[in-house]
Amino acid sequence: MSFTVDPSPQVLGAVNSCSSAQQDFFEQVRSILSETPYHFRDVIQKNIDSAGRVFYQYYDGVIPLVFTYRVYPPEEDWIPGHPGYVPITKAEKPWW
């Protein structure tokens, strides 16, 4: 695990409103992001905001929330094995 995953207080509050089993599963989400925050499994989507900044979203269907996060450094600047930072800034119910 080379990435520090840092959920915001808003994200932790949203997770705390879920069931105990879903809250426990959130630790697995954090583990996935700490290992492979750039990789596009079925549950991770890469997006670009209006300012051209890359951000990602994670949704697995187990936790009824979509997590929005950024990854520092950007993938093209990251050296495998070096540390990185993943702030999870948002957790919202799926909009679809």
What's the CA gap between 5 and 87, in Å, rounded? Answer: 6
Q: What is the pTM of this model?
A: 0.90
In the predicted model, is pLDDT for residue 42 greater than 90? Answer: no
Model confidence at 1, in pLDDT bands (50, 70, 90)?
A: low
Q: Which CATH number fits domain 3-92: 3.30.200.20, 2.30.30.40, 3.30.460.80, 3.30.2310.20?
A: 3.30.2310.20
Model confidence at 26, in pLDDT bands (50, 70, 90)?
A: very high
What would the pLDDT profile of 52-80 be if each residue is shown by its tens digit? 999 999 999 999 999 999 999 999 999 98
In the predicted model, is pLDDT for residue 96 greater than 90? Answer: no
Cβ contacts of residue 23 below 8 Å, gap of 6+? 15, 16
